């Protein structure tokens, strides 16, 4: 599996800085990787993240984007990539777990009450 943490350039913990990457630790290799910015449409859901639940949530998100006329940022006919975000420790009860699924989209961004809204 893979785990991501978001760090600002001014907040990289010691001894992990970009001059000594990758770093071998007791549990494996830790790498600092720059991930390019992306515009994502996100759907929040609860419960456990299973293959079946991911497929259901992705389909619901894609249908909502189609209804709203939001264009996906993938070549025509390509499989739509997705990212899963999980925010809770594994012992959290399913009903209160916070998960999100995200897909890349195109469109203009407007800031509305601190929330990002994608509109054509």
Q: 23, 13 in Cβ contact below 8 A?
A: no
Q: What is the pLDDT of residue 59?
A: 98
Q: What is the pLDDT of residue 114?
A: 46
Q: What is the pLDDT of residue 112?
A: 33
Q: Is 53 exposed, middle or buried (0-12, 13-18, 19+ CB in 10 A)?
A: middle
Q: pLDDT digit string (tens) for 88-113?
A: 998 999 999 999 999 999 975 553 33
Residue 23 has pLDDT above 70, yes or no: no
Which pTM value belongs to this model?
Answer: 0.72
As a whole-number percent, the residues of the chain with pLDDT over 90 amount to: 55
Q: pLDDT digit string (tens) for 29-47?
A: 777 777 888 899 999 999 9
């Amino acid at each position: 599996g893979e785990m991501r943490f978001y760090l600002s350039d001014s907040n990289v913990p010691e001894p992990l800085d970009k001059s000594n990457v990758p770093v071998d630790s007791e549990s494996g290799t830790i790498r600092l990787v720059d991930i390019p910015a992306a515009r994502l449409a996100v759907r929040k859901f609860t419960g456990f993240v299973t293959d079946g639940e991911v497929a259901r949530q992705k389909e619901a998100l894609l249908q909502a984007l189609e209804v709203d006329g939001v264009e996906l940022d993938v070549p025509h006919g390509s499989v739509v990539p997705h990212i899963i975000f999980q925010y809770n420790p594994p012992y959290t009860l399913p009903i209160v777990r916070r998960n999100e699924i995200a897909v890349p989209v195109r469109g203009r961004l407007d800031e509305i009450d601190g929330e990002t809204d994608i509109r054509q």
